[in-house]
Amino acid sequence: MNKLNKKQSKELAKHQSDLTDAAEAIEEAVEAYATAADEARAFAESIHADQQAYYDERSEKWQEGDAGTAYTEWMELWETAENASAEYGARDCAMKDAFEELTTEIEG
């Protein structure tokens, strides 16, 4: 065989087109995820800063008590989310995974 027949040539062109379309879709999805992760990180950073300010305003007794301990655990969830994409990069789902762990209030 020294060249593809018409059927093979058409099939090759289809595969090339399908792969190109799929690669473009992946690139768009990765870009969208990176943008969403950046926005989520900024949100988590803002929440964590507010939490830290609240914590710092509390007495040492409060910080060392049960309420302070629970609050610290809650802050750590948000800090983990804040740092997720910085640690793992925006190209994976670390930010999504970290945000799935977040709660709107202190548990316990």
Please tell me the chain's helix, strand, coil percentages from 3-state DSSP, rounded to the nearest 5. 80, 0, 20
> What is the chain's mean pLDDT, rounded?
87
Separation of alpha carbons 71 and 15, rounded Å: 55
Angle 11-13-19 (CA atoms, 0-180°, nearest 5)?
A: 100
Domain ranges of the chain: 6-100
pLDDT tens profile 34-79:
888 888 889 999 999 999 999 999 999 999 999 999 999 999 999 9
